[in-house]
Amino acid sequence: MTLHRCLLGLLLLAGPYLYGGQSTPGVNQTPSNENKQPVLFGTNMDMEGSPATKGAQLGLGAHQEDTGAKKKKKRGEFAIAPIPLVNPTIGNGGGLGVVYAVPLGNGSEETPSILGVGGFVTERGSWGVALGAKLHLDEDRYRITIGAGGGRFNYNFFGIGSAAGSNGVSIPLSQLSKALLIEPKVRFFDVWYVGPRYHVISNKVSLNSSHLDPADLPVPLPSDLNLRTAAFGGRLQRDSSDSPFYPRTGSILDVLGDLYGPAVGGKRTYQNLTISYDKYFHPGAKNVFAIHGSTCLVTNEAPFYDLCILGLSSDLRGYQIGQFRDNRMLVGQAEYRRELFWRLGAVAFAGAGAVAHTWGGFGDTDAEPGGGAGLRFVLAKRNHINLRADYAWGNNSKAAYISLGEAF
């Protein structure tokens, strides 16, 4: 996932069901009808657009009909989510999300569908708005994700390649983006889902400074400043995790491939493949050990904002997103999570990652380390939805993060 898709990450404001992390029927779910309705409290404003990010919503408002002596079962729930945003790439600010969760089927076991709208703004002038829905049909046999959004993202561009990122020299860019995403999936076996996906994104990129001479920059301006990209691809997911908010056991495999080209509405022909895997262990009542690994491949004609990038919270914390970008990426991260007392918890994490132009180039590239620690506060006890505050160190780099839901 690349920086310009941050606007699609806004769709996470619509709830934990929009991207990844979805609990699957038959996998450690509570049979009680009361627990089938999600507790809406808090939200995950992950501006990095990670597909496996966990999240929720703040501000529960139930919609129900009064029949006098008895009240009908709750069918839908509104939620409003004001949240702080701390992001080392696009700046600090705040966001707001409004969602409506409602089961569309008649069965008591039906997974709620989510409809939502969200937005954010930062002190650096970045902003974004998005709306979307994820529909769960036929007892969650079908999942249909639809989203659209737009925004301006002001960030630093360091160039392309591992050496460019290590130099730490950057220029400020401003990227105006609009996007549309459609992704239907079907459960074809046990906890496996598969389906096609289509998305189109238009970008206008400019130098975000009136004091710099475009002809004399420490980092050359990239060539793909105004470009529309579109892709038709597919997604394969295997999700055996026991919770969309705070997994303790199970795993999530996510395989995503896109074919970009003029035939589907874009202006450039290239391909990408991203594979990620999360594994969760539960050694003791209050301990969780989580492991994440990811790899990325993008062909040579991709614009700079669609290259593999290092710095997503799920991949490696402690760096600005896009400081390291190239056609290949390998990254891994592990995190220890500990419940302390009352609603408090703590985590420690460490990982490493690298980018290269070819697979053979990793032999000449040093891996970038990253690690840190954080605190957690449980906002919703039933679903264990955490407020997350992390501080991370990288190689001559550091970053703070505040959001809701775990990094992966």
pLDDT band at residue 387 under the 50/70/90 scheme: confident
pLDDT at residue 381 greater than cutoff 60: yes
- Tens digit of pLDDT for each residue in 294-334? 999 999 999 999 999 988 888 899 888 888 999 999 999 99
pLDDT band at residue 286 under the 50/70/90 scheme: very high
Residue burial 371-398, b: 16+ Cβ < 10 Å; e: rest:
bbbbebebbbeebbbbbbbbebbbbebe
- Strand 226-239 relative to strand 250-260: parallel, antiparallel, unpaired? antiparallel
User: What mean pLDDT is predicted for residues 376-399?
Assistant: 82
Task: Give the pLDDT confidence score for residue 268 in this predicted structure.
Answer: 93
3-state secondary structure of 30: coil
Q: How far apart are alpha carbons 375 and 360 in whole angstroms?
A: 39
Which residues neighbour 284 within 8 Å (Cβ) at sequence distance 6 or greater?
none
Type and span of the H or E element at 86: strand 76-87
User: What mean pLDDT is predicted for residues 383-407?
Assistant: 82
pLDDT band at residue 365 under the 50/70/90 scheme: confident
For residue 358, how far is the Cα from the chain centroid? Answer: 26
Q: Which residues pair with 208 in a beta bridge?
A: none
Task: Give the pLDDT confidence score for residue 77 in this predicted structure.
Answer: 61
User: What mean pLDDT is predicted for residues 238-248?
Assistant: 86
- Closest of 338, 342, 316 to residue 246, by C-alpha: 338
For residue 260, how far is the Cα from the chain centroid? Answer: 21
pLDDT at residue 47 greater than cutoff 90: no
- Tens digit of pLDDT for each residue in 337-353? 999 999 899 999 999 99
Q: Which domains are present in the chain? A: 3-30+37-64+75-404 (2.40.160.50)
Q: What is the pTM for the complete model shown?
A: 0.76
pLDDT at residue 125 greater than cutoff 50: yes
